[in-house]
Amino acid sequence: DQQVKQNSPSLSVQEGRISILNCDYTNSMFDYFLWYKKYPAEGPTFLISISSIKDKNEDGRFTVFLNKSAKHLSLHIVPSQPGDSAVYFCAASALGGANSKLTFGKGITLSVRP
Amino acid sequence: DAGVTQSPTHLIKTRGQQVTLRCSPKSGHDTVSWYQQALGQGPQFIFQYYEEEERQRGNFPDRFSGHQFPNYSSELNVNALLLGDSALYLCASSVQGGGTEAFFGQGTRLTVV
Protein backbone atom coordinates (compact mmCIF):
# COMPACT_ATOMS: atom_id res chain seq x y z
CA ASP A 1 0.00 0.00 0.00
CA GLN A 2 1.67 3.17 -1.20
CA GLN A 3 1.11 5.97 1.26
CA VAL A 4 2.84 8.59 -0.93
CA LYS A 5 1.91 8.61 -4.59
CA GLN A 6 3.46 10.40 -7.50
CA ASN A 7 1.15 9.26 -10.25
CA SER A 8 2.85 10.89 -13.19
CA PRO A 9 6.17 9.16 -13.92
CA SER A 10 7.48 11.93 -16.13
CA LEU A 11 7.02 15.57 -17.10
CA SER A 12 8.52 17.58 -19.95
CA VAL A 13 8.45 21.40 -20.00
CA GLN A 14 10.02 24.18 -22.02
CA GLU A 15 12.83 26.21 -20.47
CA GLY A 16 11.45 29.35 -18.81
CA ARG A 17 8.00 27.89 -18.25
CA ILE A 18 6.51 26.60 -15.01
CA SER A 19 6.96 22.99 -13.88
CA ILE A 20 4.28 21.60 -11.59
CA LEU A 21 5.01 18.30 -9.87
CA ASN A 22 2.19 16.67 -7.96
CA CYS A 23 2.11 14.34 -4.97
CA ASP A 24 -0.76 12.70 -3.06
CA TYR A 25 -0.69 10.97 0.30
CA THR A 26 -3.09 8.74 2.19
CA ASN A 27 -1.75 8.69 5.77
CA SER A 28 -3.43 11.36 7.91
CA MET A 29 -0.58 11.13 10.43
CA PHE A 30 1.87 12.73 8.01
CA ASP A 31 2.65 16.24 9.21
CA TYR A 32 5.87 17.12 7.42
CA PHE A 33 6.60 16.97 3.72
CA LEU A 34 9.79 17.29 1.73
CA TRP A 35 10.88 17.38 -1.90
CA TYR A 36 14.20 15.90 -2.97
CA LYS A 37 15.93 16.08 -6.33
CA LYS A 38 18.12 13.27 -7.60
CA TYR A 39 20.63 13.23 -10.44
CA PRO A 40 21.97 9.92 -11.77
CA ALA A 41 24.81 8.46 -9.67
CA GLU A 42 24.14 10.94 -6.87
CA GLY A 43 22.15 10.78 -3.67
CA PRO A 44 18.91 12.73 -3.25
CA THR A 45 19.40 16.43 -2.54
CA PHE A 46 16.97 18.31 -0.32
CA LEU A 47 15.00 21.03 -2.12
CA ILE A 48 12.25 22.37 0.08
CA SER A 49 9.93 21.28 2.88
CA ILE A 50 6.64 22.25 4.43
CA SER A 51 5.00 21.62 7.77
CA SER A 52 1.32 20.74 7.96
CA ILE A 53 0.63 23.98 9.81
CA LYS A 54 1.40 25.88 6.61
CA ASP A 55 -0.13 25.77 3.15
CA LYS A 56 2.74 27.35 1.23
CA ASN A 57 6.49 27.61 1.45
CA GLU A 58 8.71 29.46 -0.98
CA ASP A 59 12.45 29.33 -1.62
CA GLY A 60 13.68 31.16 -4.68
CA ARG A 61 12.33 29.48 -7.81
CA PHE A 62 10.75 26.67 -5.78
CA THR A 63 7.35 26.82 -4.08
CA VAL A 64 5.56 23.97 -2.36
CA PHE A 65 1.79 24.08 -1.81
CA LEU A 66 -0.01 21.84 0.67
CA ASN A 67 -3.74 21.09 0.57
CA LYS A 68 -4.40 19.04 3.71
CA SER A 69 -8.07 18.45 3.04
CA ALA A 70 -7.23 16.92 -0.34
CA LYS A 71 -4.06 15.24 1.00
CA HIS A 72 -2.22 16.77 -1.92
CA LEU A 73 0.94 18.76 -2.37
CA SER A 74 2.65 20.23 -5.37
CA LEU A 75 6.05 21.63 -6.21
CA HIS A 76 6.20 24.60 -8.56
CA ILE A 77 9.44 25.53 -10.30
CA VAL A 78 9.44 28.95 -11.97
CA PRO A 79 11.17 29.55 -14.29
CA SER A 80 12.30 26.05 -15.21
CA GLN A 81 15.92 25.64 -16.27
CA PRO A 82 17.67 22.77 -18.11
CA GLY A 83 19.68 22.07 -14.94
CA ASP A 84 16.42 21.23 -13.20
CA SER A 85 16.18 18.04 -15.27
CA ALA A 86 16.30 15.26 -12.67
CA VAL A 87 14.11 12.83 -10.73
CA TYR A 88 12.01 14.54 -8.06
CA PHE A 89 10.84 12.63 -5.00
CA CYS A 90 8.07 13.66 -2.67
CA ALA A 91 8.53 12.42 0.91
CA ALA A 92 6.48 12.58 4.10
CA SER A 93 7.01 11.94 7.78
CA ALA A 94 4.87 11.71 10.88
CA LEU A 95 5.54 13.22 14.30
CA GLY A 96 9.21 13.77 13.91
CA GLY A 97 9.99 15.97 10.97
CA ALA A 98 13.13 15.10 9.09
CA ASN A 99 14.35 12.94 12.00
CA SER A 100 11.56 10.48 11.57
CA LYS A 101 11.12 7.77 8.99
CA LEU A 102 10.59 9.32 5.56
CA THR A 103 8.08 7.67 3.23
CA PHE A 104 8.88 8.39 -0.40
CA GLY A 105 6.90 8.36 -3.61
CA LYS A 106 8.26 6.64 -6.72
CA GLY A 107 9.53 9.88 -8.19
CA ILE A 108 8.84 12.01 -11.26
CA THR A 109 11.40 12.47 -14.02
CA LEU A 110 11.42 16.12 -15.07
CA SER A 111 12.92 17.06 -18.43
CA VAL A 112 13.38 20.75 -19.18
CA ARG A 113 13.84 21.39 -22.93
CA PRO A 114 16.13 24.26 -23.97
CA ASP B 1 32.34 19.96 4.95
CA ALA B 2 32.45 16.49 3.40
CA GLY B 3 28.74 15.84 3.67
CA VAL B 4 27.50 12.27 3.99
CA THR B 5 29.98 9.73 2.65
CA GLN B 6 29.28 6.10 1.87
CA SER B 7 31.56 3.22 0.99
CA PRO B 8 31.96 1.32 -1.19
CA THR B 9 30.21 2.97 -4.16
CA HIS B 10 29.63 -0.32 -5.97
CA LEU B 11 29.62 -3.91 -4.81
CA ILE B 12 28.90 -7.30 -6.38
CA LYS B 13 28.06 -10.24 -4.12
CA THR B 14 26.85 -13.81 -4.60
CA ARG B 15 23.56 -15.12 -3.26
CA GLY B 16 23.90 -16.31 0.32
CA GLN B 17 26.84 -14.09 1.11
CA GLN B 18 26.94 -11.34 3.69
CA VAL B 19 27.69 -7.65 3.04
CA THR B 20 28.60 -4.61 5.13
CA LEU B 21 28.02 -1.07 3.93
CA ARG B 22 29.44 1.99 5.67
CA CYS B 23 28.31 5.56 6.22
CA SER B 24 29.89 8.65 7.75
CA PRO B 25 27.33 11.34 8.58
CA LYS B 26 27.60 15.01 7.81
CA SER B 27 29.64 16.91 10.40
CA GLY B 28 27.48 17.86 13.38
CA HIS B 29 24.84 15.21 12.65
CA ASP B 30 24.11 12.50 15.21
CA THR B 31 21.36 10.43 13.57
CA VAL B 32 21.78 8.00 10.69
CA SER B 33 19.02 6.41 8.64
CA TRP B 34 19.35 3.74 5.95
CA TYR B 35 17.15 3.39 2.87
CA GLN B 36 16.90 0.84 0.07
CA GLN B 37 16.04 2.10 -3.41
CA ALA B 38 15.08 -0.57 -5.91
CA LEU B 39 15.07 0.24 -9.61
CA GLY B 40 12.16 2.50 -10.56
CA GLN B 41 11.07 2.93 -6.93
CA GLY B 42 11.48 5.56 -4.28
CA PRO B 43 13.77 4.97 -1.30
CA GLN B 44 12.33 2.67 1.38
CA PHE B 45 13.19 3.18 5.03
CA ILE B 46 15.19 0.33 6.61
CA PHE B 47 16.06 1.68 10.05
CA GLN B 48 17.42 4.64 11.99
CA TYR B 49 20.20 4.85 14.56
CA TYR B 50 20.69 7.42 17.28
CA GLU B 51 22.91 7.17 20.37
CA GLU B 52 24.16 3.82 19.06
CA GLU B 53 20.70 2.27 19.24
CA GLU B 54 18.15 1.33 16.61
CA ARG B 55 15.30 3.80 17.13
CA GLN B 56 12.93 3.04 14.28
CA ARG B 57 12.67 0.17 11.86
CA GLY B 58 10.88 -0.26 8.56
CA ASN B 59 9.38 -3.41 7.12
CA PHE B 60 12.62 -5.31 6.50
CA PRO B 61 13.55 -8.81 7.72
CA ASP B 62 16.06 -9.52 10.47
CA ARG B 63 18.67 -10.27 7.80
CA PHE B 64 19.12 -6.51 7.75
CA SER B 65 20.96 -5.24 10.80
CA GLY B 66 22.99 -2.22 11.67
CA HIS B 67 25.29 -0.52 14.06
CA GLN B 68 26.21 3.00 15.04
CA PHE B 69 29.60 3.87 16.49
CA PRO B 70 30.48 6.53 19.10
CA ASN B 71 31.66 8.85 16.30
CA TYR B 72 28.11 8.60 14.80
CA SER B 73 29.24 6.61 11.76
CA SER B 74 27.13 3.60 10.89
CA GLU B 75 27.17 0.21 9.19
CA LEU B 76 24.42 -1.70 7.45
CA ASN B 77 24.80 -5.48 7.38
CA VAL B 78 22.78 -7.81 5.21
CA ASN B 79 23.05 -11.58 5.73
CA ALA B 80 22.07 -14.43 3.41
CA LEU B 81 21.82 -12.16 0.38
CA LEU B 82 18.97 -12.69 -2.07
CA LEU B 83 18.78 -11.56 -5.69
CA GLY B 84 16.03 -9.18 -4.59
CA ASP B 85 18.46 -7.35 -2.31
CA SER B 86 20.06 -5.81 -5.40
CA ALA B 87 19.43 -2.08 -5.02
CA LEU B 88 20.93 1.30 -4.25
CA TYR B 89 21.45 1.65 -0.50
CA LEU B 90 21.28 5.20 0.75
CA CYS B 91 22.43 6.60 4.04
CA ALA B 92 20.94 9.83 5.39
CA SER B 93 22.07 11.87 8.36
CA SER B 94 20.24 14.43 10.44
CA VAL B 95 20.25 16.15 13.80
CA GLN B 96 18.02 14.61 16.47
CA GLY B 97 15.56 17.18 17.72
CA GLY B 98 16.50 19.80 15.19
CA GLY B 99 17.02 20.56 11.54
CA THR B 100 14.51 20.55 8.76
CA GLU B 101 15.92 17.95 6.40
CA ALA B 102 17.99 14.81 6.15
CA PHE B 103 21.12 14.85 4.00
CA PHE B 104 21.79 11.84 1.81
CA GLY B 105 24.99 10.21 0.66
CA GLN B 106 25.57 9.15 -2.94
CA GLY B 107 24.65 5.56 -2.13
CA THR B 108 26.15 2.10 -2.53
CA ARG B 109 25.01 0.14 -5.56
CA LEU B 110 24.73 -3.52 -4.49
CA THR B 111 24.33 -6.21 -7.11
CA VAL B 112 23.60 -9.76 -6.00
CA VAL B 113 24.31 -12.47 -8.60
Q: pLDDT digit string (tens) for A13-71?
A: 999 999 999 999 999 999 999 999 999 888 999 999 999 999 999 999 999 999 999 99
Q: What is the side-by-side order of every strand in the sheet holding B5-7?
A: B5-7, B19-24, B74-78, B64-68
Q: What are the two backbone dihedrals, phi and then psi, of residue B28, each rounded to the nearest 5 degrees?
A: 90, -10
Given a cut of 90, is residue B101 above it in pLDDT? no
Q: Which of B42, B92, B107 lies closest to A107 in CB terms?
A: B42
The string of DSSP letters for B8-24 reads -SEEEE-TT--EEEEEE
Can you tell me the distance from the alpha carbon of A33 to that of A67, in angstroms, rounded to the nearest whole number? 12
In this predicted model, what pLDDT tens digit does every residue of B39-56 receive, in sequence order?
999 999 999 999 999 999
In this predicted model, what pLDDT tens digit does every residue of B18-47 receive, in sequence order?
999 999 999 999 999 999 999 999 999 999
Do the Cβ atoms of A19 and A84 come closer than 8 Å?
yes
Can you tell me the distance from the alpha carbon of A92 to that of A74, in angstroms, rounded to the nearest whole number? 13
Cβ contact, residue pair B104, A36, below 8 Å: yes
Best B6, B36, B100, B109 member to test A by mutation, with max A CBs in 10 Å, is B100
Question: What are the DSSP E strand ranges found in chain A?
Answer: 4-5, 10-14, 19-25, 32-38, 45-51, 56-59, 62-67, 72-77, 86-93, 103-104, 108-113
Give the count of beta carbons closer than 10 Å to the beta carbon of residue A10.
10
Given a cut of 80, is residue A100 above it in pLDDT? no
Interface size, chain A vs chain B, as Cβ–Cβ contacts under 8 Å: 62
CA distance to partner chain B, nearest, from residue A54 (Å) = 14
pLDDT at B99: 64
Cβ contact, residue pair B102, A46, below 8 Å: yes
Given a cut of 80, is residue A3 above it in pLDDT? yes
Can you tell me the distance from the alpha carbon of B106 to that of B76, in angstroms, rounded to the nearest whole number? 15
- Which chain B residues have a beta carbon less than 8 Å from that of A97? 99-100
Cβ contact, residue pair B100, A97, below 8 Å: yes
- Which chain B residues have a beta carbon less than 8 Å from that of A91? 42
As a whole number, mean pLDDT of residues A62-88 equals 97
Q: Which of B58, B95, B97 lies closest to A101 in CB terms?
A: B58
Q: Which is more confidently placed, B102 or A85?
A: A85
Put simply, whether B96 touches A (Cβ < 8 Å) is yes
Q: Which of B43, B103, B107 lies closest to A46 in CB terms?
A: B103
pLDDT at A98: 62
Q: Which is more confidently placed, B84 or A2?
A: B84
Pairing of strands A108-113, A10-14: parallel
Give the count of beta carbons closer than 10 Å to the beta carbon of residue B9.
11
Cβ contact, residue pair A41, B106, below 8 Å: yes
Given a cut of 70, is residue B100 above it in pLDDT? no
Can you tell me the distance from the alpha carbon of A76 to that of A86, in angstroms, rounded to the nearest whole number? 14
> Would you give the distance in Å from CA A1 to the centre of its chain?
19
